[in-house]
Amino acid sequence: MQIECVNEVNISFPSKSSNESFARAAISAFVSQLDPTIDEITDIKTAVSEAVTNCIAHAYKSGIGTIYINSKIFSNGKIVIKIKDKGTGMENVQQAMEPLFTTGGSERAGLGFAVMKSFMDKIKVSSKPDRGTTVTMEKSIIRRLAKSDR
Amino acid sequence: MGIKVEMNRDTAVALVSGEIDHHSASEIREKIDNFVRTNNLKELILDFSKVSFMDTSGIGLILGRFKLARSLGVNFKVINIPEKMRRIINLSGIKNLGIFE
């Protein structure tokens, strides 16, 4: 069976911290059509919150910029979420992804990427200094129907 | 998001409610820290029973208050972490601090 994209949403908004809750609520509303469990929704909301917070607290640290989210649902129950900014970018992506590494001061745990990695099935980060960062995350939602078939 | 701090003898209980993220954490942090610095406490308890969501900003919030309490010689505990937030707590490793009840 061919896997195709069955639904897609694009959102963009200014990097104000009040939009963190909007972003995770919007994506959680979009993926709710797959009937995910509460755990799956919590995982997705948390991962989105981390990625958007990175855009606000790091990429656009010195001003307001635009955050772009694209999310796709595929016919096999896979969700792809792409979160993009045109901010400062990172010299060393690998270092930024290490647990406990942070440039955000003592109130930041440095666990954002660790959460994205462990709560989602797949994560890809591409970044260029002064150009911006794109985080692409995937998660497959176990479909209730398929479950009862077993 | 809400934060209410109540004093019972020399114990302060901070009841946090709603969603903890990078946006809401700073206000919660300020309220708790002001209270802790201006009252003579023996113990600070964070009550998470009314928290509906937290990301790693919640971990930072807990860690920061733990450090502040310790620097002032105040006992520190976190109580009533909702079931769906167990995963992020476990992942962060802060379970080993022995502050959860």
The answer to the question of residue A78 being in a domain is: yes
Please give the residue of chain A at the shortest CA–CA distance from B52.
A42
Q: Catalytic: which of A92, A108, A131, A144?
A: A108
CATH number at residue A59: 3.30.565.10
Q: What's the mean per-residue pLDDT of chain B?
A: 95
Q: What is the pLDDT of residue A101?
A: 87
- State the pLDDT confidence band at A122, using cuts at 50, 70 and 90: very high
Residue for token pair 């497959």: A140
Average pLDDT over residues B55-69: 96
The answer to the question of residue A130 being in a domain is: yes
Tell me whether residue A4 is one of the annotated catalytic residues: no
Encode pLDDT of A69-80 as tens digits: 999 999 999 999
For an interface test with A, the pick among B19, B88, B90 (most A C-beta atoms closer than 10 Å) comes out as B88
- ipTM of the shown complex: 0.93
A20 in Cβ contact with A52 (< 8 Å): yes
The answer to the question of residue A150 being in a domain is: no
CA distances from B27 to A66, A84, A85, A137, B67 (A): 24, 27, 26, 30, 18
Q: What is the pLDDT of residue A148?
A: 45
Cβ atoms within 10 Å of A75's Cβ, excluding its own: 12
Encode pLDDT of A84-113 as tens digits: 999 999 999 999 999 888 888 888 888 999
Looking at residue A121, the DSSP 8-state letter turns out to be S
Helix (H, G, I), strand (E, B) or coil at A140: strand
Residue A147 in this model has a pLDDT that exceeds 90 = no
| Minimal Cβ distance to A45: which of B23, B53, B64 | B53
Tell me whether residue A54 is one of the annotated catalytic residues: yes
Number of domains in chain A: 1
Q: What is the pLDDT of residue A107?
A: 84
Q: What's the mean per-residue pLDDT of chain A?
A: 93
The answer to the question of residue A149 being in a domain is: no
Encode pLDDT of A37-89 as tens digits: 999 999 999 999 999 999 999 999 999 999 999 999 999 999 999 999 999 99
Q: What is the pLDDT of residue B53?
A: 97
- Cα gap B52→B59, rounded to integer Å: 14
Encode pLDDT of A7-28 as tens digits: 999 999 999 999 999 999 999 9
Q: What is the pLDDT of residue A144?
A: 59
pLDDT above 70 covers a percentage of chain B that reads 100
Contact A46 B84 (CB under 8 A): no
Structure-token pair, residue B100: 């959860």
> What superfamily in CATH does domain B2-97 come from?
STAS domain (3.30.750.24)
CB crowding A114-125: b at 16 or more within 10 Å, else e: bbbbbbbeebeb
Chain-centroid distance of CA A83 in Å reads 6
- Cα gap B54→B57, rounded to integer Å: 7
Residue A149 in this model has a pLDDT that exceeds 50 = no
Domain boundaries along the sequence of chain B = 2-97
Contact B22 A46 (CB under 8 A): no
Contact B55 A53 (CB under 8 A): yes
- Cα gap B39→A90, rounded to integer Å: 42
Quote helix, strand, coil % in chain B, to nearest 5: 45, 35, 20
Looking at residue A66, the DSSP 8-state letter turns out to be E
User: A–B: how many Cβ contacts below 8 A?
Assistant: 64
Pairing of strands A122-128, A78-85: unpaired
In chain B, what residues touch A24 (CB-CB under 8 Å)? 53
A118: domain range? 5-144
Please give the residue of chain B at the shortest CA–CA distance from A58.
B22
